[in-house]
Amino acid sequence: MQTTQALVLRTSGTNCELETARALERGGAKVDVLSHRRLQDDLPRLTKYRVLVFAGGFSHGDDLAAGRVWGSDLRAIRRELDAFVADGGLILGVCNGFQVLMESGLFQPDRAPEERTLALYSNASNHYECRWVQLAVERSKCSWWTEGWKFPVPVAHAEGRFTCKDEATLEGLRAAGQIVLTYQGANETLTYPENPNGSMGDVAGICDPSGRVVGLMPHPERNLDLFNRPDWTRLEGRQEGEGVRFYADLVAAAQG
C-alpha cells in the first residue's frame, strides 16, 4: 500500500507544526512542512498530498482576531482547496488551525464568510485555558474515528468557545452529522472546567458538510507518548498516547 502523503502548513506565528508532523508520522504518513506562502507560489504541488493540516499557534499574532488573517488568505486559494476536498483529500485544523478554517468559511461553503452562523469566541472564563480534558467521538460524517471513543487530550487556547447563531443552527449541525467531538464530564450536564471554554453543546470539533474538512480546539498531537499524560505513572497496559490513534485513523481514512 502506498504511503499517505501529508502536508502541514505553517505561517508567521504558528508553533505546533513540528509536533503535528511528528503525530502524522507516528500515524503512518510521510510528512512535509511548508509555509503557506511557499504553497501559494506553487499550488499544483497540493495535488500530491492526501492530508492537509493547519498547525496550531498564533498565526500572524492573532492581531485582528484568532486565525482571521490566515483564514482570509485562504480565500485566495479556495478553488484549489475545494478541488483538494472534492478529490478525496482531508483537511484538518487544530486549535489555531480550527480558528483559521472557521474564518475561511470552509465549514459553511454555501455562505460568504461574513454571513456564516458559526464562530469561535473568547473563552467564557475570560482567560487562557491550558488543561487536560476528556473528549468523545460523536456520530458524524467523519466515520474513521470510532463513535463513542473517549480519550484525554490537552487544550491550550483563549478563543475556543464554539458558538452558533442560535440553537436551531446547533441542532442543524447535529442532524447533518457535522458535530465530530464533544467535551465529556462525570455527569451528563458539564460544568467548567470539563467544558473548558463554554462551547455551545459542549462542542470541541466539527466538520464541513462533506465530512472531509475537520477542526477541533484540543491538541491530540500533545498526547503521543506514554508519559505525556500527567497520570501516566498510575496507568497500566498503555504503550503510547491516545493521540497516535487519532492521527493513525485520519491517515488510514486518507488512504481509502
Name the residues annotated as catalytic.
95, 219, 221
Q: What gap in Å lies between CA 235 and CA 208, rounded to an integer?
A: 36
Residue 216 C-alpha cell reads as 477541533
Cell 468523545 sits on residue: 136
C-alpha of 128 from chain center:
18
Residue 49 C-alpha cell reads as 498530498
Q: What gap in Å lies between CA 9 and CA 160, rounded to an integer?
A: 20
Q: What gap in Å lies between CA 67 and CA 160, rounded to an integer?
A: 11
User: For 45, phi and psi rounded to 5 degrees?
Assistant: -65, -20
Q: Which burial class, exposed, middle or buried, applies to 48 when counting CB atoms under 10 A from its CB (0-12, 13-18, 19+)?
A: exposed
User: For 243, phi and psi rounded to 5 degrees?
Assistant: -65, -25
Helix (H) / strand (E) containing 8:
strand 5-10
Q: What gap in Å lies between CA 65 and CA 4, rounded to an integer?
A: 33
